Amino acid sequence: MKFSTRAEYGLKAIINLANAYPKQRSISEIAKEERISIKYLERLMGEFRKKNLVKSSKGKAGGYALIRKPSRVAVGEVIEIIEGPISPMKCVGEDCALRHTCPSGRVWTKLGEQIKKTLYGIKLSELINSKI
Amino acid sequence: MKFSTRAEYGLKAIINLANAYPKQRSISEIAKEERISIKYLERLMGEFRKKNLVKSSKGKAGGYALIRKPSRVAVGEVIEIIEGPISPMKCVGEDCALRHTCPSGRVWTKLGEQIKKTLYGIKLSELINSKI
DNA sequence: TTAATCCATACTTAATTAGTAGGAGTTAGA
DNA sequence: TCTAACTCCTACTAATTAAGTATGGATTAA
């Protein structure tokens, strides 16, 4: 069971922005500091922008900034933007109308809830230097 | 973030054995009931056997049985046999001597602990019909 | 006008997961 | 003692997903 490295890179980039909040930073700055390829990071930031987690300004002095205060952004949000909804198992087999009868299903449901609880319990402010 | 379907199949097979405990069942019985390919299941059971979660008897009336009581087997054990150690992120980048400084690392560490806590908190006895 | 940036999409490569194949070894029961 | 029903072993293939790259257009501060 692993999260993708996309999630890791995305989280790092967002933490980087959280440290600059409310200022903006360019992709090349973030990419350099976090050692992510510029092109790869561009795509990740595009997803964050579409989900209104960051705002961008175009043109020469452009860049990205976090929209909300770091204390108002949960790690869970960041992860779900990158990885899609958190649910640790895609039901195997055909019709999962058996879902509530299915013993292993109970495990995945419970686990999914715990993971969400954990990830939504951590705010970006806890991961940066100055707490805002 | 997903567990593999291997984990799902493996768990289903073990739950099946837990329901039969302390009796044994053949692979073909389990495979039929849980709708898993016999050959695939053979390999999964091999891993469980090597880790002393189940015992096998060879020959015509052979099969597999759970070694411990269902109430003494945690779901976490089953999962870790199939998927390896639970840790939600393989540290990205070169030298992770930065580990304790790394803000995102803190997330994965905490999350890993929670996942383990959850999965080791669920016993097979909670997933079967008669509690043994 | 130009250089630095964001933005969009298509493509390629690498890695992992899922599933299959074939056969050797074992044993209860006819 | 023969055979059918099993476990056991290892290599292989196919499918899917993740990771990373390439190309170029649109926008805008200086």
- pLDDT tens digits for B90-126? 765 545 555 556 888 889 999 999 999 999 999 999 9
- Give dist(CA B25, CA B46) in Å, integer: 14
Pick left, alpha or beta for residue B109 (phi over 0 → left; psi -120 to 50 → alpha; otherwise beta).
alpha
This prediction's pTM:
0.89
A114 touches strand C (CB under 7 A): no
Mean pLDDT, residues A95-113: 77
Domain layout of chain B by residue ranges: 5-126
* pLDDT at residue B94, as a whole number: 46
Is residue A74 classed exposed, middle or buried when 0-12, 13-18 and 19+ CB atoms within 10 A define those classes?
A: middle
Average pLDDT over residues B20-46: 95
| Token pair in block for residue B46 | 């091999």
Query: CA end-to-end span of chain A, whole Å?
Result: 33
The distance of B63 to chain A (nearest Cα, Å) reads 22
Do A119 and B104 make contact, defined as CB atoms within 8 angstroms? no
Report the chain B residue with the minimal C-alpha distance to residue A110: B118
Question: Is 90 exceeded by the pLDDT of residue B132?
Answer: no
Q: pLDDT grade, residue A102 (50/70/90)?
A: confident
Of all nucleotides in the shown strands, which has a C1' nearest the CA of A62? C5
Interatomic CA distance for residues A97 and A82, integer angstroms = 29
CB-CB under 8 Å, A5 with B1 = no
Q: What is the pLDDT of residue A89?
A: 85
Does pLDDT of A117 surpass 70? yes
Q: Which long-range contacts (CB under 8 A, 24 or more apart) does A96-103 make?
A: A103/B12, A103/B15, A103/B127, A103/B128
Q: Please give the average per-residue pLDDT across B18-28, as a whole number.
A: 96
**Which residues touch A91 (CB under 8 Å, ≥6 apart)?**
A99, A105
Give the per-residue pLDDT at A129. 78
B5-126 CATH? 1.10.10.10
pLDDT value, residue A131: 55
Which of the residues B8, B12, B73 would you substitute to probe the A interface, choosing the one with the greatest number of A C-beta atoms within 10 Å? B8
Q: Is the CB of A126 less than 7 A from some atom of nucleic acid strand C?
A: no
Q: Average pLDDT in the A56-62 region? A: 93
State the nucleotide closest to A58 in CA–C1' terms: C6
Distance CA B96, CA B105 (A): 10
pLDDT above 70 coverage of chain A, percent: 89
Mean pLDDT confidence for A66-70: 96
> Quick one: average pLDDT of A83-96?
73
Tell me if B107 and A114 make a contact (CB, 8 A cut-off).
no
Q: For B41-47, what is the mean pLDDT?
A: 97
Is cis: bond before A70, omega within 30 of 0?
Answer: no
pLDDT score recorded for residue A88:
86
Residues 19-48 of A with CB under 7 A from strand C: 26-28, 39, 42-43, 45-46
- If you measure CA to CA, which chain B residue comes closest to A116? B111
pLDDT for residue A121: 97
Chain segment B97-106, per-residue pLDDT in tens: 555 568 888 8
Whether A2 sits inside 8 A of B89 (CB atoms) is: yes
Of B1, B89, B119, the CB nearest to A86: B1
